[in-house]
């Protein structure tokens, strides 16, 4: 089991007091499995993903990631888990403007100490970026930038790929192409995939769906 999360709760402080966002959410993700996390805006999808990505800590509950209990880890240890075990893809791409396509793809793998030039070249080819390695993010379309972000996330060969609305800024045809590439590459690497999406159509292409409603599994 890559992810085993049990009874997660999370609240945030507001001017009117504490706002509960997650209320006892549990989920699992096995190696090679693809899971779509759906739900209306404000249901807690992104908050849950951030907890699973070790970007934040739950108020209560437990998260085991690849047999490591990450609940309660400090910032340094959570950062190490992200480098070693997790690939992250965001809706906003988050590419580094001063790096070209080749350097952006290799960036996370270099941080993790697992840079493999042959694998990065394979990713670039599979993602249709082999002729764009010298281009900078501002010279790429939205779909091309998202492909670079996917390549960067997969370059270290993570155990699990977590994607937060990765096709939300793309037109339908481009979104379909990008998701097809993600599914192919995840299957090739054996990673698990958890994808937050508002699209029921895209969610049905993954092996399992989990819906959140008002901070709980619906």
Residue with tokens 């989920």: 27
Q: What is the pLDDT of residue 175?
A: 87
- Sign of torsion, CA 117 149 102 53? negative
Q: Kindly indicate the confidence band of residue 39, based on its pLDDT and cuts at 50, 70 and 90.
A: very high
Structure token pair of residue 48: 């849950």
Find the range with the poorest average confidence among 38-47, 58-67, 162-171, 188-197.
162-171
Q: What is the mean pLDDT of residues 195-206?
A: 92
Q: How many CB atoms lie within 10 A of CB 28?
A: 16
With a cut of 90, say whether residue 167 has pLDDT above it: no
Band of the pLDDT at 218, cuts 50, 70, 90?
confident
Output the pTM of the full model.
0.92
**Structure tokens of 117?**
């030039």
pLDDT score at 122: 94
Note the pLDDT of residue 203.
Answer: 94
Q: Is the pLDDT of residue 38 over 90?
A: yes
Domains by residue range for the chain, with CATH: 3-217 (3.40.50.300)
Per-residue pLDDT reduced to its tens digit, 127-147: 999 999 999 999 999 999 999
Q: Which pLDDT score, from 0 to 100, does residue 16 have?
A: 87
pLDDT of amino acid 174: 86
Residue 148 pLDDT more than 90? Answer: yes
Residue % of the chain over a pLDDT of 70: 100
pLDDT, tens digit, 9 for 90 and up, residues 63-116: 999 889 999 889 999 999 999 899 999 888 899 999 999 999 999 999 999 999
Question: What pLDDT does residue 6 have?
Answer: 97
Residue 204 burial (CB < 10 Å; 0-12/13-18/19+)? exposed
Quick one: tokens of 12? 């945030």
Instruction: Inform me whether the pLDDT recorded for 21 exceeds 90.
Output: yes
Sheet holding 17-29: strands in order across?
Answer: 17-29, 3-14, 60-65, 68-69
Tell me what pLDDT residue 169 has: 81
Mean pLDDT across 37-51: 93
Q: For position 197, what pLDDT does the model report? A: 92
Query: For 28-33, what is the mean pLDDT?
Result: 94
């Amino acid at each position: 089991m890559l992810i085993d999360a049990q009874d997660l709760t999370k609240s945030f402080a507001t001017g009117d007091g504490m706002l509960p966002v997650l209320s006892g959410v549990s989920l699992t993700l096995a190696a090679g499995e693809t899971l779509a996390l759906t739900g209306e805006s404000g249901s807690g999808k992104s908050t849950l993903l951030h907890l699973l990505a070790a970007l934040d800590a739950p108020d209560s509950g437990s998260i085991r990631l690849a047999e490591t209990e990450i609940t309660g880890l400090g910032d340094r240890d959570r950062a190490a888990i992200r480098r070693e075990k997790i690939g992250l893809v965001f809706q906003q791409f988050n590419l580094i403007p001063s790096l070209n396509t080749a350097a952006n793809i290799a960036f996370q793998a270099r941080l993790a100490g697992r840079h493999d030039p042959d694998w990065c070249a394979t990713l670039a080819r599979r993602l249709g970026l082999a002729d764009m390695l010298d281009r900078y993010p501002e010279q790429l379309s939205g779909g091309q930038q998202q492909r670079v972000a996917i390549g960067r996330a997969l370059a270290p060969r993570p155990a699990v790929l977590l994607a937060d609305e990765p096709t939300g800024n793309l037109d339908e045809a481009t979104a379909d192409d990008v998701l097809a590439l993600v599914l192919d590459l995840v299957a090739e690497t054996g990673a698990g995939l958890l994808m937050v999406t508002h699209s029921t159509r895209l969610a049905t292409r993954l092996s399992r769906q989990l819906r959140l409603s008002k901070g709980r599994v619906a």
